[in-house]
Amino acid sequence: MIPLSLGQIATLVGGEVADGDADLVVTGPAFLDSRRPEPQGLFVAFAGEHVDGHDYAATAVEGGAAAVLGTRATGAPSVVVPDAQAALQELARQVLRRLWENDPGPKVIAITGSQGKTTAKDMLARVLADAAPTIATAGSFNNELGLPLTVLRATGETRFLVLEMGARGIGHLAELCQIAPPDISLVLNVGKAHIGEFGSQANIAIAKGELVEALSADGAAVLNADDPLVSTMAARTSARAWSFGRAGSDLRLGEVEVDDLGRASFDLTHEGTEHVALRLVGEHQAMNAAATAATALAAGLSLADVAESLRSIDRLSPWRMEVHERSDGLVVVNDAYNANPDSMVAALETLARMGQRGGRRTVAVLGEMRELGASADDEHRAIGTLAHRLGIDEVVTVGDGARGIHEAVVDARGGDRTARRVETVEQASEWLRDNVAGPDVVLVKASRALRLERVAETLLGEDPGVGPGVDLGEEGGR
């Protein structure tokens, strides 16, 4: 964060200094977890239903924080405000305005989509960071608290501020854009994730398009030409529209080839052509790379530089198509961070391809996809049918929410010989312990609440040769 005194912070957010000197300067980032204090940072205290952050203010300051932002005095140097969340957001808004007074100030790039936004954000942050100082959302910290915390990590040297933005309803993205108005807005897709909250894909499109409507006339909208609900968003802004996709787009993605380990290679074309062979797993990563490239071009980078950066990326945020190999040759694909129908399809297709190309037995460990509303049963059954059609050798479902996947596999195969249904992560791990080994490949995927990554961690942690697992990386770990 740019250095600010407590007095300056109080003026910016309409608060009062308590238990400290108004001239005390905060130089570190804002943060929420008192157990992980930021040196000289600003601890933001919230009074929750079960825990009151104000009770831990002294711990945060003793751990190295400079001061506290909260709704009551704590005995530690503080700025006291009526509403801590509103104050945090206002502080981010005001700090960003100050940064824009620099020449050049940071270019704000906002990213949304029903799936893939964290992966695309990670890719884009890596590409932009190769060109200039870049700050990006950590993990998927993309809501009304995570976004201002990310903004407040920016400094006078920051040139690109990459912000993942998530929405739980219409109007949410518009509110986030009021905190950090975007210079470039990337919309990846409009899928079925969270359809239970929005009610329909049309409503999801309305919400995602708020990112485009927030652009000024000299901004840029980067839109998926292959998704009709996204490409039509160009009409919702006077900013320049950049398109990416398979054909007829500003940044064209060529034919995608996939190797034995599921890694994609392809051409990207825009006033020239660059070939990219990704080190990441999954054919769907090619479209994420195209979205990244189009956004980086809109930000002023060259295609050659973008392609060079894309080729070097070997890992993203944890538990997203994270591939490890045990010393006995067992391959574990940990994609357990989250799941929706589209991302589940992409993961299963990658698993099938890895099995076909590498001659490996395939095992899918699948849990519930949440927030699908009335379509939940149909969507889960569709995934089970797809697993059968793709020829996945064994399908293990975890929890009652994934019952539809299990039932569809059993129906399609006329029995449950290759379909297992268990209730807990521990039961899944126990079955896998006795039934998989190298050169099998195991996919682990479910919505975040199930914490299915524990299955992958158990499989890999049982191997004394690799501890938590060995990344396959460029050479496949062979």
pLDDT at 478: 21
Q: Are 117 and 139 in contact (CB under 8 A)?
A: no
3-class secondary structure per residue, 155-180: CCCCCEEEEECCCCCCCHHHHHHHHC
- Token readout for 246 is 């398979």
Task: Tell whether the model's pLDDT for residue 360 goes beyond 70.
Answer: yes
Q: Using pLDDT thresholds of 50, 70 and 90, give the confidence band for residue 403.
A: very high
3-state secondary structure at position 230: helix
pLDDT by residue (tens digit) across 53-70? 999 999 999 999 999 999
Q: What are the angstrom distances between the C-alpha of 98 and each of 89, 106, 147, 342?
A: 14, 10, 17, 40
3-state secondary structure 111-160: EECCCCHHHHHHHHHHHHHCCCCEEECCCCCCCCCHHHHHHCCCCCCCCE
Region 410-415: mean pLDDT is: 95
Beta bridge partners of 281: 263
Comparing CA positions, the residue from 67, 134, 59 lying closest to residue 292 is 134
Set out the domains of the chain in order of their start, with CATH numbers.
4-81 (3.40.1390.10), 102-312 (3.40.1190.10), 322-461 (3.90.190.20)
- Strands in 2-77 per DSSP E: 4-5, 16-18, 25-26, 30-31, 42-44, 67-70
Cα torsion angle, 148, 154, 155, 160, sign? negative
pLDDT at position 399 over 70: yes
According to the model, what pLDDT value does residue 357 have? Answer: 81
Place of tokens 């697993």: 387
- Looking at residue 289, its amino acid is A
Both structure tokens of 135 = 């700050």
Q: What is the pLDDT of residue 472?
A: 29
The rounded distance, in Å, linking the Cα atoms of 418 and 393 is: 7
Both structure tokens of 149: 């915390």
- Indicate the pLDDT class of residue 462, thresholds 50, 70 and 90: low
Which range, of 124-128, 259-263, 350-354, averages the lowest pLDDT? 259-263
Report CA dihedral (140, 381, 198, 367) to the nearest 10 degrees: -30
| 174 confidence band (pLDDT: 50, 70, 90) | very high
CA 145 from centre of chain: 15
Q: What is the pLDDT of residue 332?
A: 95
Q: Which phi-psi region, left, alpha or beta, contains residue 348 (left: φ > 0; alpha: ψ -120 to 50)?
A: alpha
Q: Is the pLDDT of residue 471 over 70?
A: no
CA angle 447, 204, 378 (to 5 degrees): 50
State yes or no: pLDDT of 417 exceeds 80.
yes
State the chain's mean pLDDT as an integer.
92
Write out pLDDT tens, residues 114-130: 888 989 999 999 999 99
Q: What are phi and psi of 22, to 5 degrees?
A: -60, -20
